[in-house]
Amino acid sequence: MASTVTTPAGRARGTLRASLAEQRGSRGDLVFRAVLTIAAAAVPALLAVLLMELVRGSELAISRFGLRFITDSIWDPVAERFGAWPLLAGTLLSSLLALCIAVPLSLGVAIYLTEFAPRAVRQPVAFVIQLLAAIPSVVYGLWGIFVLIPLLRTTLFPLLRGALGFLPLFQGPIYGPSMLTAGIILAIMVMPYIISVSREVLLAVPGSQREAALGLGATRWEAVRTAILPYARSGLIGAVILGLGRALGETMAVTMVIGNRNDVSASLFAPGYTMAAAIANEFSEAVKDIHLSALAYVALLLFVVTVLVNAGARLLIWRVARGAGAGSGAL
Amino acid sequence: MRRIASNFMVGLMLGAVVVAVLPLVFILGDLLVKGAGSLSWSFFTRLPAPAGQSGGGVANAIVGTLIIVGVASLIGLPVGIGAGIFCAEYSGSRLAWLTRFVADVLNGVPSIVVGVFAWTWIVARQKHFSALAGSVALAMLMIPMVLRTTEEMIKLVPRSLREAALALGYPRWRTTLQIVVRTTLPGIVTGSLLAVARIAGETAPLLFTALGSQFFTTDVTQPMAALPLTVFTYATGPYEEWHRFAWGAALVLILVVLALSLLARLATRQRFDLNG
């Protein structure tokens, strides 16, 4: 068709078509692309501003305390001495507690929904669990204060102390607001996330895995245990870590039930504190620049921790979903 | 024996389902039982009574939430949808890759951290709390959610549809807007509504931006009341009356959030109907 074109015919036709299209709508296309580019570029720009502002806000505390901030355990606004260790420890402990409770339950639900549940049950149950994710954190907190805490104080906590009281974890007075209460509320809150991501991962396991195991005479549970779970393992770990990321940054519900005492205690019945809760409680009341700056430093630490955790989770999920071409499921 | 083990495990999993669904039943039930009692005409129309006194309402918080979330949507939706279209349309470009990656990072950032950011960025510079700073924080939480749903939705549009439009001589921008975006509009609306539902209940980013207020105001440069803040302040306060109000406000909040979520689902259902 084009004797003057020296490049291979296919590519030539492509460029020809592209240049024709450009000629026809070029101005509209340019404006359109420019507007979209601005919107797209705004997103990385926002993250850059966020980081800059966090660093600027915590400059004073960084220069005064440096990295010792992480290991120092005294938090005294009056003496202007700040160390985030109890906050960091409280954040990690409450999140790990939440995972200990949420992971077995979530994986059970996810496996049941993908492998065993009758078709008619799958969608409604998944929908109900998604509703749990829609409840605002502050409502969980309200429910925690007025329903969960009184319930736990009179039933589960005395029971635990009676049965497992020989462990330091379950000793000491029972107030109600405590590390364990926070762990339980957090577990309820992160379950929907872990369930929905694990479901996606399990759905991405090829049917042939399952059929091969069943064909060899495995029962349905054995097929899950020997063929499906090993295949999905790194994706499921990713789902759990994603839940961890959620738990680490959860603020309102934890602030309302953890008791807010800046102390690392061996007992799960004792009140604790987390990074997010400290920021929520103290930021609007802090008057000294160094106090505000220390809280911004805590926010910066929390940012770094959650970004690292989330990046790790995505990497693991991506490794499983890649092969099966599973989308990230917009809805 | 193996069959028994199998059935046993299935039983355990069924138990997990029950335990997972129970909290939802409890929470919704308690909200209805304890919240419905405090809902009354004055609850929706009056301002808060002075601390310790009975009566009053949360009218200012309801209006405040509408304004704060409305302004947040005005900022967040155009950016999120625009960036989402960019990522889908120019998916090979380096900027699309960067934007997608950053959106994933932002999605994992705790909302309280975004609140601190809005404080240092806006409140500290203006030297006073403002609803606008709260809206900016909420918009920031919204953008990554809207971006990803928009992108996923647009990617579902068959290539042939786009090619047909281009072959008819449509310029690229009209193809994208009138053919591609139009086909996916219900999906984009769904994503947007879900994002609005998510941020409507957010409390942490408002604590030191919008701050809350006892008064009625529509001025976004001033501190403003919001329902989630009302729930928090009243639930942690010392008065019985406040606790009753906290339950009422929480019930209103959850009804708004659930209504938005259901609306979002209806928007996509309609698309399936249209497609036959």
- Supply the DSSP symbol for B50: P
pLDDT for the residue B270: 55
pLDDT for the residue A12: 53
**Class of the domain covering A84-324:** mainly alpha
Cβ–Cβ contacts within 10 Å for residue B269, how many?
A: 12
Interface contacts A/B by beta carbons within 8 Å:
281
For A222, nearest residue in chain B (alpha carbons): B6
B 158-177 residues inside an 8 A Cβ radius of A: 166, 169-174, 176-177
Tens digits of per-residue pLDDT, A4-47? 444 455 555 555 555 555 555 578 889 999 999 999 999 999 99
Q: Which residues of chain A have pLDDT under 70?
A: 1-25, 320-331
Length of chain B: 276
B24–A contact, CB cutoff 8 A: yes
Q: Is the pLDDT of residue B275 over 70?
A: no
pLDDT for the residue A322: 61
Instruction: Return the amino acid letter for B242.
Output: W
Tens digits of per-residue pLDDT, B55-85? 788 999 999 999 999 999 999 999 999 999 9
Q: Which of B27, B106, B138, B181 to mutate to test the interface with A (most CBs of A within 10 A)?
A: B27
Cross-strand pairs, B48: B56
Residue of B115, B144, B169 with shortest CB distance to A24? B169
Tens digits of per-residue pLDDT, B183-207? 899 999 999 999 999 999 999 999 9
Q: How confident is the model at residue B86 (pLDDT cuts 50, 70, 90)?
A: very high
Tens digits of per-residue pLDDT, B109-157? 999 999 999 999 999 999 899 999 999 999 999 999 999 999 999 988 8
pLDDT for the residue A14: 55
pLDDT for the residue B137: 97
Cβ–Cβ contacts within 10 Å for residue A52, how many?
A: 13
Tens digits of per-residue pLDDT, B94-110? 999 999 999 999 999 99
Beta carbons within 8 Å of A86's beta carbon, 6+ residues apart:
A73, A75, A262, A263, A264, A272, A273
B204–A contact, CB cutoff 8 A: yes
Is there a contact between B43 and B251 (Cβ–Cβ < 8 Å)? no
B34–A contact, CB cutoff 8 A: yes
A52–B contact, CB cutoff 8 A: no
Is B204 close to A40, i.e. CB distance below 8 A? no
pLDDT for the residue A192: 94
A331–B contact, CB cutoff 8 A: yes
A70–B contact, CB cutoff 8 A: no
Query: What is the C-alpha to C-alpha distance for residues B231 and A41, in angstroms, rounded to an integer?
Result: 37
Beta carbons within 8 Å of B226's beta carbon, 6+ residues apart:
B61, B64, B65, B68, B134, B206, B210, B212
Cβ–Cβ contacts within 10 Å for residue B111, how many?
A: 24
Is there a contact between B120 and A61 (Cβ–Cβ < 8 Å)? no
Tens digits of per-residue pLDDT, B23-60? 989 999 999 999 998 888 888 988 888 777 777 889 99
Q: Dihedral, CA atoms, A92, A97, A98, A100, nearest 10 degrees?
A: 120
pLDDT for the residue A168: 87
Give DSSP secondary structure letters for A232-281: HHHHHHHHHHHHHHHHHH--HHHHHHSB------S-TTS-B--HHHHHHH
Phi, psi at A259, each rounded to 5°? 100, -20
Burial category of A163 from C-beta neighbours within 10 Å (exposed 0-12, middle 13-18, buried 19 and up): exposed
Residue of A26, A191, A279 with shortest CB distance to B20? A191
Is B232 close to A141, i.e. CB distance below 8 A? yes
What residues of chain B lie within 8 A of the CB of A140, using their CB?
27
pLDDT for the residue A23: 53
Beta carbons within 8 Å of B132's beta carbon, 6+ residues apart:
B71, B122, B220, B221
Cross-strand pairs, A272: A259
Is B201 close to A138, i.e. CB distance below 8 A? yes
Beta carbons within 8 Å of B101's beta carbon, 6+ residues apart:
none
Residue of B14, B87, B113 with shortest CB distance to A302? B113
For A330, nearest residue in chain B (alpha carbons): B149
pLDDT for the residue A125: 87
Is there a contact between B145 and B195 (Cβ–Cβ < 8 Å)? yes
Domains in chain B with CATH codes = 37-274 (1.10.3720.10)
Q: Dihedral, CA atoms, B22, B33, B229, A242, nearest 10 degrees?
A: 10
